[in-house]
Structure 1
Amino acid sequence: MSKSLAGNVVWITGASSGIGEAVAKSFARRGALLVLSARREAELERVRDGLVNATEHLILPLDLVDSEAMPAAVQAVRERFGRLDLMIHNGGISQRSLVADTALAVDRRIMEVNFFGTVALTKAVLPWMREQGGGRFVVITSLVGELPTPLRSVYSASKHALHGFFESLRAEEFDSGIRVTLVMPGFVRTQVSVNALTADGSAQGTMDDAQQSAMPAEECAERLLKAVQRGRDQVIIAGREKAGIYLKRWSPALYRRLIRNMKVT
């Protein structure tokens, strides 16, 4: 992948809104050729219409729960562009519910979308990247991938799982030229809390206070892009909440005591 990004083929899941949409705009401005995936085709069309060189980008509707659709999706990208430089895993759903109240079906759905869907698409893409001599997976996890908080038990678990999976992949495929960038955003101003699943599987429907005053998605996207250009293995994109990483590392007992009563919405 060239640092200029011009002509690079970049596939983005969760591209219909939020961080995914902002990332699409940032990469398109640098001349990348994009594959835009999410469930809502009309929203993907809206995003594409707002991009630089709109007609050069491919809309590819995809539901991460449908693992059987992954090989055909990969083939469609291959037929259109012939190569894939960056696979940006951004699709996912969040959670706002207590462990004791949350239906197991909700836990399973979040894991299916956030973890197994990402794994299925990675396994569909991996042989192609190996064949072409390399590529990069950019995995947008979350700060809660290392800092679990109340109301996000299975969401946090799904992000922990992604870290474990892609750290293993990084080691296994290094000699194949395949690289991994783990991106850990903190609070970003998107609809993630509005769409977060509650205990019965319904959407929360309201935006968290922390989300209202959070970092704009556009700033997050620009920082992500720079991390990719620099070949970073991992990057934290967050405000003052990132201090929790150091607190948990150096004073875990204090962190655990504080997180019990900290406002996390």
Structure 2
Amino acid sequence: MRQVAIITGASEGIGAELARQMARQHGADLALVLAARRQDALQAVAQECETFACTVLVQICDVGEESACRALIDACITRFGRLDILINNAGVSAHALLEDVHDLQWYQDVMRVNLWGSVWCTHAALPHLKASRGRIVAVSSLAGLVGVPGRTAYSASKFAMNGFFEALRIELKPAGVSVTLAYPGVVATRIRYHGYNAQGQPAGVSGLKEENAMRVEECARLILRGMQARQRDVVMTFKGKLGRWLKLLLPGVIENIALAAVKQDMGPKNRA
């Protein structure tokens, strides 16, 4: 039976690569619903996937709007009649010191996209995923396991996302629906360049050191492997796994490591 999967944030970066790899692996046995805000970019990804005989539905969706999230699930069910996999990948980045932020509206926008977009999509998809004993993937971040200076808005949204999906995982265990939380570190995508700065504008630069950024192909491969195995968590790097335990045992050490990951000119300032 052909499986049906939804990927949010599928127009570029991790989401687009997840779509390509899934299409390559499953071909005609897979139907993909690709969701994002930019139709031209989505169509380009869809064309790549269709070369592997995969059926693709493109759906314009801003996950920061509840009605758009619910319309996404409705479009999938109307077209394919079922849903087996929901990958909550859409997200927005941000890098700013709290003391430099004068209007916190964009903090709410980050939470709306990163947390509520996933909540709304998952809530609408729930009966269909229970019917198929399907899979849910939530693409979080290492910044959702360890707070990173200059990323208060982003870390808060990802910590909240983790709590939601950890609780949901237990709720859905009797129904046979798996919930996989993925924790990428720094991945070679443009998400941080598109994210918010202190003024709530597109940053145009990354506030993190990216010399050893993970290739997006490797990140997507690890997420899909974890999803297929119905793993609870996918922590992708040795530093990430180590940091998770050091936070419990030596919190001061992990705070220094987090500080070192931030570019010098983007880090906390000592002000008189």
Structure 2-normalised TM-score?
A: 0.89
- 2:96 aligned with 1:101, yes or no? no
Question: Aligned equivalents of 2:258 and 2:176: distance in 1?
Answer: 43
Q: Which whole-Å CA distance do the structure 2 matches of 1:96 and 1:71 have between them?
A: 30
Specify the alignment match of 2:112 in structure 1.
112
Question: CA 1:124 to 1:255, structure 2 compared with 1: closer, same or farther past 3 Å?
Answer: same
1:176 matched to 2:171: no
Question: How many angstroms does 1:215 deviate by?
Answer: 0.9
| Equivalent position to 2:7, from 4, 9, 12 | 12
Query: Could you tell me how far apart the structure 1 residues matched to 2:154 and 2:120 are?
Result: 18
| Structure 1 residues 188 and 139: CA distance shift in structure 2, 3 A | same
| 1:76-130: CA deviation from partner (whole Å, max 9, x where unpaired) | 1012111111100000001110111222101101001101111111111112223
Q: 2:39 is aligned with what amino acid?
A: E
Partner of 1:3: none
In the comparison of the two structures, how many residue pairs are matched?
258
How far the C-alpha of 1:54 sits from its partner, in A, is: 5.9
Matched residue of 1:168: which SS?
Answer: helix
Q: Is the 8 A contact 1:186 1:242 kept in 2?
A: no
Is the 1:142–1:184 contact (alpha carbons within 8 Å) kept by the matching residues of 2? yes
Task: Letter of the 1:101 partner, please give it.
Answer: D
CA offset digits 1:44-99 (Å, max 9, x no partner): 00111112336611101100111022332212101211111110000000111011
Residue 158 of structure 2: SS of its match in structure 1? helix
**Equivalent pair of 1:181/1:228 in contact (CA under 8 Å):** yes
Change (3 A) 1:55 1:172: closer
Report Cα offsets for 1:149-171 as digits up to 9, x if no partner.
Answer: 11110110111101111111111
5+ residue gaps, structure 2, are 264-272
Q: Secondary structure at the match of 2:181?
A: strand
- For residues 113-262 of structure 1, what are the structure 2 equivalents within 5 Å? 113-130=113-130, 132-208=131-207, 210-238=209-237, 240-256=239-255, 258-259=256-257, 261-262=259-260
Equivalent position to 1:41, from 39, 42, 63: 39
Counterpart Cα distance in 1 of 2:57 and 2:147: 36
Provide the residue aligned with 1:28 in structure 2: 23
| Aligned-partner Cα distance in 2 for 1:56–1:234 | 29
Query: 2:146 is paired with a residue of what secondary structure?
Result: coil
Task: Give the ranges of 4+ consecutive aligned residues of structure 1 lying more than 4 Å apart after TM superposition.
Answer: none
Alpha carbons of structure 1 residues 255 and 23: separation in structure 2 relative to 1, 3 Å: same
Counterpart residue identity of residue 9, structure 1: V
Scaled by the length of structure 1, the TM-score of the pair is 0.91
Q: Which residue identity does 1:13 align to in structure 2? A: T
Matched residue, 2:63: 64
Deviations 1:199-237 (Å, cap 9, x if unpaired)?
A: 111111124563353111011111111111211111111
CA distance in 2, matches of 1:227, 1:190: 21
SS at match of 1:60: strand
CA distance in 1, matches of 2:259, 2:176: 45
Give, in angstroms, the shift of residue 242 of structure 1. Answer: 4.3
Inter-partner Cα distance in structure 2 for 1:24 and 1:239:
26
Measure how far apart 1:252 and its partner are. Answer: 1.3
In structure 1, what is the Cα distance between the partners aligned to 2:70 and 2:250?
45
Q: Which residues of structure 1 form unaligned runs of 5+?
A: 1-5
Which residue does 1:53 correspond to in 2?
52
How many angstroms apart in 2 are the aligned matches of 1:204 and 1:242?
Answer: 29
Q: What secondary structure sits across from 2:260 in the alignment?
A: coil
Tell me what 2:270 maps to: none
Residue pair 1:48, 1:54 contacting (<8 A) in 2 also:
no
Deviates more, 1:52-61 or 1:90-99: 52-61
Structure 1: how far apart are the matches of 2:47 and 2:215? 21
Contact 1:187–1:238 (CA under 8 A) maintained in structure 2: no
Matched letter for residue 5 of structure 2: V
Counterpart of 2:9 in structure 1: which amino acid?
G
